[in-house]
Chains A and B, each alone.
Chain A
Amino acid sequence: MFRFAVRRVLLAVLTLFAVSVATFSLFYLGPADPASTMCGQRVCDPATHERIVEALGMNQPVVGQYADYVRGVFVGRQIGSGDTAIDCPAPCLGVSFRTREPVTDILKRTYPVTLSIVSGALVVYLLIGVSLGMLSAIKRGSFLDRISVGFSLTFASMQIYFLGLLLTFFLVWQTGLLPRPQYISPLESVGGWISGMLLPWITLGLINSAVYARLSRAQMLETLSEDYIRTARAKGLPIRRVYMRHAFRAAVTPLVTIAGLDLGTQLGGVVITESTFTLQGTGRAAVQAIFQQNLPIIMATVLVAAVLIIAMNVIVDMLYAVIDPRVRLG
């Protein structure tokens, strides 16, 4: 187990290095000219351009900039020079090219929003999706099964922005059943947090639950045809015991993997959901940064997403070994 962990950490570091180099390179290899974007004039005059470039630290060679960046993450650095310099303590992820706000502050501001959306939706889609899927597998061919298949097809084909706007229109504006979607920190008001997040949770939750309903139905059907289920019945176990203890645990294993990886990706930023409900989450910040050619924010969001995905990969592998004793990590 120890060797497994060490190997995975080393691999993670290597991956992060590769990701950061790639992001940096792609940015500079592309037609990047953030200085012009931030100029404010249609055609930037050379003096202003030069001044902005210097302030951003972009007059240094790319490798140097990268080295500075890495150093900043571990030790902290000074950004820019002269009287416009900013002190950036570790972990320094740079400052926004546009507003000069430290990126760590931006993340601290936007990340809780994304986390709130994802965690709530996770509960919704796992609960609804998995139980619906399992039930329809158990009662295959029945009315419930047909409804759930229809449900899955409908919602899996829907787009978040479509369903989100539709639900907002009906549930918020027309009938007033739900409050306006917004982010209120749970530290301020738990009630406000929940009511503001309900609509995103329902939307993202319903759409994803369709996918998980399909998946868990297929997994459960396959598991139910296994020999050990027949043995369990032959022992005289009550059918509920067979379903819950024997079938469920076996069927759920691949779902854990998929859900974990899904979660890792979503934690990196649920851009469409954030945009649909105009919530200032990390995903939205990342996309805006791309349009604004705001490299520090891009780097930070990419790296954070990479860290989360890698971490979820490791967690999912370990969970698999916990559930399935045939898998041994060595």
Chain B
Amino acid sequence: MATHRNTRPTHDTSGPYLQVKDLKVSFPTEDGVVRAVDGVSFSVERGRTLGIVGESGSGKSVTSLAIMGLHNRKRSNVSGQILLGGEDLLSLTDEQVRRRRGRDMAMIFQDPLSALHPFYTIGRQIVEAYRVHHDVSKAQAKTRAIDMLDRVGIPQPAKRFEQYPHEFSGGMRQRAMIAMSLINDPDLLIADEPTTALDVTVQAQILDLLEDLQREFNSAVVIITHDLGVVSQIADEVLVMYAGRVAEYGTTEQVMRGPQHPYTWGLLSSVPSLHGDADEDLLPIKGNPPSLINVPSGCAFHPRCRYALLEPGPSDTEVPQLLPLLLTNEPGHRVACHLPERQRKEIYENEIASVGVAT
């Protein structure tokens, strides 16, 4: 690997590299205020992967774009704290955030064909990503770019360097985009549905690649997906989002094997299992994702929750808080639900654990 100078200032290396505290993102529109993200907190340490799961409209992508500072300040309201290496990105100027973008934090997107500029060669786009943050010659940048293309598993990298995005296959394009985002050794990589547009076999390769690269670069990775299979394969921690809020948060083991939020149960039951009974119906979650302009009062999930009426009470008036578990020893596992913990465990063991992929 060609050497390159690290031009970043030294960070505060204690604690998680990324800490998001009470992030709120809203968009004032003609129809009303869209509350896309409504009080989300999480953290990611170096070398760990956080999977953010949720339906379309849950606020996953808006969260990641807020971290990168890619929202139009004139058309959005972002509040809370986003600590990257100890620095609050929301207190910095646009220019200061821009300098960190691509260098300290990088993002890869869902559809690499539309995310790469069709008129420029891959090589040129990667070199550009490098030279904007490092003062090097074109030749040096080219060498590094070809190294990265090789590192992400693209055969004949020197030849591919001169080719256009439309000349690549889907998997290779995504690899190229990964190369482009990692070329500056960012400490945080956000992957927004990186495998959704790819074939399943290619998907596995890309996820393996991301794991390898994380081990090598020791970066913090946030992977946004609606695919629970991806989460279980690659994520260390899971954040389940619904209607812009956190429903459940914990390690993958905790959330996948012992979920305690009705929404998470719904997600797990909705996924067809290879081992399940082929004649049995799938159990989808009834209803539709809520409007983010008129978020349901109280718990945002209550209109669709099968257990909302079990506990007559605050489902439709109070927003449930994200609280840690008291009865089980699962440190770090937090759930935002009005159902009492004992009841949740019972419901899970009796009804959910025998259906769908939870088995």
Contact = CB atoms under 8 A, between A and B. Distances in A.
Interface string B82-104: 00000000000000001111110
A227 B109 contact: yes
B166 interface: yes
B118 A231 contact: no
A194 B137 CA distance: 45
B117 A235 contact: no
Interface stretch (A40-48, A267-275, A321-329): A321-329
B117 A326 contact: no
Interface in A202-244: 226-228, 230-239, 241
A228 B176 CA distance: 14
A27 B181 CA distance: 67
Contacts of A241: 132
Given A235-B129, A235-B132, A230 B70 contact: yes
A234 B102 contact: yes
B100 A236 contact: yes
A236 B98 contact: yes
B68 A234 contact: yes
Given A230-B109, A326-B166, A235 B115 contact: no
A16 B99 CA distance: 58
B221 interface: no
Interface in B68-126: 68, 70, 98-103, 106-107, 109, 111, 114-119
A246 interface: yes
B99 A325 contact: no
Given A235-B128, A236-B132, A228 B117 contact: yes
Nearest to B116: A228
A193 B98 CA distance: 50
Contact of A233 (B101, B114, B133, B164): B101
B180 interface: yes
Nearest to B97: A236
Interface in B133-168: 133, 164, 166
A237 B114 contact: no
Given A234-B107, A237-B132, A228 B99 contact: no
Interface in A115-163: none
A238 B128 CA distance: 11
A328 B80 CA distance: 50
Contacts of A227: 109, 111, 114-115
B102 A236 contact: yes
- The size class of the interface chain B forms with chain A is 20 to 34
Given A237-B128, A326-B164, A230 B119 contact: no
Contacts of B118: 228, 250, 324-326
Contact of A323 (B98, B103, B117, B119): B119
B186 to A, nearest CB: 10
Nearest to B180: A235
Q: Is chain A's interface secondary structure helix, strand, loop, or mixed overall?
A: helix
A7 interface: no
A194 B117 CA distance: 42
Contacts of A234: 68, 70, 101-102, 106-107, 109, 181
Contact of A236 (B99, B111, B177): B99
A31 B133 CA distance: 75
B113 to A, nearest CB: 9
A109 interface: no
B109 A231 contact: yes
Contacts of A323: 119
B4 to A, nearest CB: 16
Contacts of A325: 118-119, 164, 166
Interface in A284-330: 323-326
A236 B133 contact: yes
Contacts of A237: 102, 128, 132
A238 B98 contact: yes
A34 to B, nearest CB: 54
Contacts of A246: 117
A249 interface: yes
Contacts of B106: 234-235
A249 B119 contact: yes
Contacts of A233: 70, 101
A324 B101 contact: no
A30 B260 CA distance: 88
Nearest to A253: B119
Nearest to B126: A235
A226 B114 contact: yes
Among B70, B106, B117, chain A packs the most CB atoms within 10 A around the CB of B117
A324 B117 CA distance: 11
Contact of A231 (B115, B119, B164): B115
A323 B98 CA distance: 29
Contacts of A230: 70, 109, 115
8 contacts: A227-B115, A230-B70, A234-B107, A235-B106, A236-B132, A239-B98, A324-B118, A326-B164
Query: What are the nearest 4 A-B pairs in CB distance?
Result: A236-B102, A236-B101, A227-B114, A235-B102
Interface of B: 68, 70, 98-103, 106-107, 109, 111, 114-119, 128-129, 132-133, 164, 166, 177, 180-181
Interface of A: 226-228, 230-239, 241, 246, 249-250, 323-326
